[in-house]
Amino acid sequence: MSDLVSNRKAFHDYEVLETFEAGVVLLGSEIKSLRNHGGSLQDAYIDIRKGAPWMINASIAPYSHGGAAFNHPERRERKLLMHKREIETLRRATQEKGLTLIPLAIYLNKKGIAKVKVAIAKGKKAYDKRASMKEREDTRAMERARRES
């Protein structure tokens, strides 16, 4: 699996509780643009509407060779494809206070089909972010000390 687009800031801003894999409905120019690494999940989130998950505010750049007539809108809403049980789990999670649904990455599976890694996440407070940064720095320092001795 190769990540076409990843949301690296999500792990800084959120505590990921559970992840799911979902298919995504894309246009031809969108998948071509993604293969050229022309996308961003920076402000994207997922909403459950009429029993189906939708990825909102994800940016996929217009395809460079698409032309005006055949290109797609950059920030259109994209439908996600999941099993009913998984959708129900996501719907219940969004009703809990403090939990949200975010896309972590768009990648190609072994068959070359685009998939989205969806996470149930809880927002971190500023002190949580500082604690996780300190923990990461301490781990690096211990690794460095172990290598030097």
Listed by start position, the domains of the chain span 2-124
pLDDT for residue 62: 78
Q: How far is CA 135 from CA 127, 138, 141, 142, in A?
A: 12, 5, 10, 11
Q: pLDDT digits over 53-71, tens only?
A: 999 998 888 776 666 656 6
pLDDT for residue 97: 86
Q: What is the mean pLDDT of each run of 10 residues along the chain (149 residues)?
A: 81 88 86 80 90 90 67 79 93 89 91 90 82 89 89
How many other CB atoms sit within 10 Å of the CB of residue 11? Answer: 15
Q: pLDDT digits over 32-41, tens only?
A: 878 887 788 8
Computed from CA positions of residues 50, 53, 59, 63, in that sequence, does the dihedral angle turn out positive or negative? Answer: negative
Conformation bin of residue 6: beta by default, left when phi > 0, alpha when psi is -120 to 50: beta
pLDDT for residue 87: 93
How many other CB atoms sit within 10 Å of the CB of residue 23? Answer: 14
User: Which fold does the domain 2-124 belong to in CATH?
Assistant: Small Protein B; Chain: A; (2.40.280)
